[in-house]
A and B are shown apart, each in its own frame.
Chain A
Amino acid sequence: MIPFILFFLLAFVAVGAAVALIVAREPIHSALSLILVMISLAVLYLLLGAEFISAVQIIVYAGAIMVLFVFVIMLLNAGVEERTDFSKLAKWVGPILAFFMIVELGVWLSRSAIGRVVATGSPESYTPASTVGLSRMIFQQYLLPFEATSILILIAIIGALVLAKKGE
């Protein structure tokens, strides 16, 4: 019973914060509610037995990336969002599109065979050893993609520097 209560509590917080992201007029409020979504997702990852991903979610996502967002919001002094109405199409088609996507995905996912799986797989093969197994996979099977991400990060650093420097 307790796992279900915990799940629904976290799901409620995540969905509520995502709605708050849409409703908020100021970008800083949106950023803070997005941090709340990320923290509740990190706890959900713990429920799913992915401790390493949960820690990375807190450190990289809720920590580094969102601090970058908040920093840029402060730097650009982004105040209350201006309401302009140049695009009527987005206003009418957008909600319909999002609604159908949520309904379709929800119905399909809850009816699919994989959805009925209650993951009770042998715990010793997954949960306690998940961080060890994950590091083995990253540094053995997925070593080349892992090295490629370091090049990607280098390119991103150079790109950010080039874009953000003062134009001559």
Chain B
Amino acid sequence: MNFSVIPISYYLVLSAVLFGLGLLAFVFKRNIITIFMAIELMLNAVNLAFVAFARAHNQLDGLVFVFFVIVVAACEAAVGLAIVISVYVNRQTLNIERINLLKF
């Protein structure tokens, strides 16, 4: 079956909506782990745009970039969750508004 009848703009708009929802979750959520997941959602939205553009231009560079984004996201998740664990050990909370040591 031929799947290349869908215009690229459909994918791009879906990517924009997912990125916006990720931004909304980033701003709204109070749990530090959920905020992390919002960042992952935004990275996924950007990956979708990369793959759609790669398809539109018929070039594979976009897919290589998506591969690197996934690798960096894995590193970021490992280090970030280690930070979350150490913050929880020190402050006994996951609420982002109670972690305010650096705040004036």
User: Of residues 18 to 41 in B, which have CB atoms within 8 Å of A's CB atoms?
Assistant: 18-25, 27-31, 33-34, 36-38, 40-41
Chain B, interface size category, equals 35 or more
Contact A133–B9 (Cβ < 8 Å): no
Q: Among the interface residues A19, A72, A78, A95, which one has the most CB atoms of the partner chain B within 10 A?
A: A72
Contact A21–B37 (Cβ < 8 Å): yes
Out of A19, A31, A47, A159, which one reaches B3, CB within 8 Å? A47
- Chain A residues in 8 Å Cβ range of B94: 27, 76, 78
Q: Separation in Å of the B104 CB from the closest CB of chain A?
A: 13
Give A156 to B14 CA distance when docked, in angstroms: 31
Out of B17, B37, B67, B79, which one reaches A102, CB within 8 Å? B17
Give A78 to B35 CA distance when docked, in angstroms: 13
- Chain B residues in 8 Å Cβ range of A57: 47, 70
- Chain A residues in 8 Å Cβ range of B79: 156, 159-160, 163
Contact A18–B10 (Cβ < 8 Å): no
Contact A81–B74 (Cβ < 8 Å): no
Given A18-B41, A137-B64, CB of A157 within 8 Å of CB of B78: yes
Partner-B contacts on A (CB < 8 A): 2-4, 6-7, 11, 14-15, 18-19, 21-22, 27, 30-31, 34, 37-38, 41, 44-45, 47-50, 52-53, 56-57, 60-61, 64-65, 68-69, 72-73, 75-76, 78, 81-84, 86-87, 90-91, 93-95, 97-99, 101-102, 105-106, 109-110, 112, 114-123, 125-126, 130, 133-134, 137-138, 142, 145, 149, 152-153, 155-157, 159-161, 163-164, 167
Can you name 20 A-B residue pairings with CB atoms under 8 Å?
Answer: A2-B1, A15-B18, A22-B28, A27-B31, A27-B34, A41-B48, A48-B55, A49-B55, A61-B40, A72-B81, A75-B85, A98-B23, A101-B23, A109-B9, A109-B13, A114-B56, A152-B75, A155-B75, A164-B82, A167-B89
